Chain A
Amino acid sequence: MKGLAFDVSHLLAGGLVLLSFVQLYQNRLYALLNVYSLQAFVLALSVAWQAFVQDESHLYVTAFIAFLFKAIVVPTALHRVIVQLGIQRDVENVVGVGPTMLAGLALVALAEVVMLRIAGDADVLAREDLAFALSVVLLGLLMMVVRRNAVSMVVGFMSLENGLILAAAGAKGMPLVVEISVAFSVLVALVVIGVFLFRISETFATVDAEALDSFRDGRR
């Protein structure tokens, strides 16, 4: 049972990291949102598995919240946003898929090394989950750095939050109220981001963040 519990959670958490890489690779917005939705679904499965293994019923609530909000509500809302902006068929010009992938690999390696040092004497399952969660967080940050389309950046932010939930599920004794408040703050962030997307697209006629570069100092 111990072996199986470890294998399944390793499989699901590894799947999350893999889906983060798929997001980095995917340059079509519509498909990107679908990948994000799939990642949230895998996250819900992973949290539910943790709930089963750790025998903590409140984690089922977390899994349900993750599934409902992150796999259904957020992608649907973003789908509507990109349809209204008329960019659902856009192919984003991603620069340097290869270097980005290599950078992502380096980040995963970094996360694993850091977690080995820090959480050296923690429970194997929790340590594994923490290492993967940190990888997902770093890959989400990388996504926000390398993409120029504002919607892709939002997806990077949301997938970063997936990593946080995974870390929360792996660590024992995380109170439910924290998780619920995180979930709601993400929803609030989604609303704010949605408004901002429309404002950016109204002002600059594009959601390409490169248009904002002309307002920066020191780079001409």
Chain B
Amino acid sequence: MIVDLVFQLLQMTLVIMVAPLLTGVVRATKARLNRRRGPPVLQPYLDLVRLARKEAIIADSASWLFRITPYIVFASTWVATALIPTFATGLLFSWSADLIAIIALLGAGRFFLALAGLDVGTSFGGLGSSRESLFGALAEPAMIVIVFTLALVAGSTQLSTVAAFMTSSAVGLRVSLAMALVALIIVALAENGRIPVDNPSTHLELTMVHEAMILEYSGRHLAVIELAAMLKLALYISLIICVFIPWGLAIADASVADRLFGAFVFLAKLLAGGVALGVFETSIAKMRVFRVPDFVGAALMLGFLGALLLFVSRTLK
């Protein structure tokens, strides 16, 4: 029990410590591919410290909602991350909520962020909120359908069970899983505002979404929101890792050494995922905003198709 608690806390600290590093790795990869030197990999940590030290300026028209939103967003994202079996299944918290609860937590974060964007009453904030809602309205159903597909394969929506099933040899070769993987990657790109959907490294551009919503934030509020965004990126990458490339994951009741080994493997996979994301973002152009619904809709379609094929092959057998 105590060991479980220790490992759960270790997992929570690990993800939050490594999330800015992941963002730094993505940025460094992109900079190197653009033949720039770029900021050092640890720059996101320094940015967070700098922001936390600065004075937080709040617009006169802002309500209490504007002030508590950063903490709500951060808390919901962190709790959602704690539920993901990053390096070991069967952690203490993992039995309390399943994949659908993770989606709900992230959805709650999005809801409050969109409200905060509207709260101040600037045109940019409203623009960002409306676009975020548009993408969310497509990305969340897609995510739910992906969860259905996984649940049909693994027989559970519980992430620990799914990950344990994926490491076992019972899973076989399934086209539905490939579709779910592609759909999940599309959803992850859309949810994190990565390049084909939104450009994370711009301010004051007409096509931005996430940055437009948080334009009015400054100081420690901005630091908390930025950290939550980094955490969300780490969450999606570790979700993809734990479901689709779970090798090296420590199954429940593994020894302490196995779990530590699992943690190292997880870190390596996470950083490799960051490099892959950087390469992907460099090789692709940003979409027009009105093409994004098609792109995210493709994820929804893939998820549906995967679930459909799976459903049929089950009734056939």
Residues of A within 8 A of B (CB): 3-4, 7-8, 10-11, 13-15, 17-18, 21, 25, 97-98, 101-102, 104-105, 108-109, 112, 116, 124, 127-128, 131
Contacts and interface: CB of A to CB of B under 8 A. Distances in A.
B179 A124 contact: no
Q: How large is the interface on B (under 10, 10 to 19, 20 to 34, 35 or more residues)?
A: 20 to 34
11 contacts: A8-B173, A10-B174, A10-B175, A17-B309, A21-B301, A25-B294, A25-B298, A101-B297, A102-B301, A105-B304, A105-B305
Interface of B: 172-176, 178-179, 293-294, 297-298, 301-302, 304-305, 308-309, 312-313, 315-317
A182 B176 CA distance: 31
B297 A97 contact: yes
B172 A3 contact: yes
Contacts of A112: 308, 312
Contacts of B312: 112, 116, 131
A101 B297 CA distance: 9
By secondary structure, the A interface counts as helix
B25 to A, nearest CB: 31
By secondary structure, the B interface counts as helix
Nearest to B182: A18
Contacts of A11: 173-175, 178
A11 B176 CA distance: 8
A100 to B, nearest CB: 10
A90 to B, nearest CB: 18
Contact of A18 (B172, B173, B179, B316): B179
Contacts of B174: 7, 10-11
Contacts of A10: 173-175, 309, 313
A21 B305 contact: yes
B72 to A, nearest CB: 33
A124 B308 contact: no
A17 B294 contact: no
Contacts of B297: 97-98, 101
B316 A127 contact: yes
Contacts of A116: 312, 315-316
B293 A98 contact: yes
Given A98-B294, A109-B308, A116-B315, A14 B301 contact: no
A207 B293 CA distance: 29
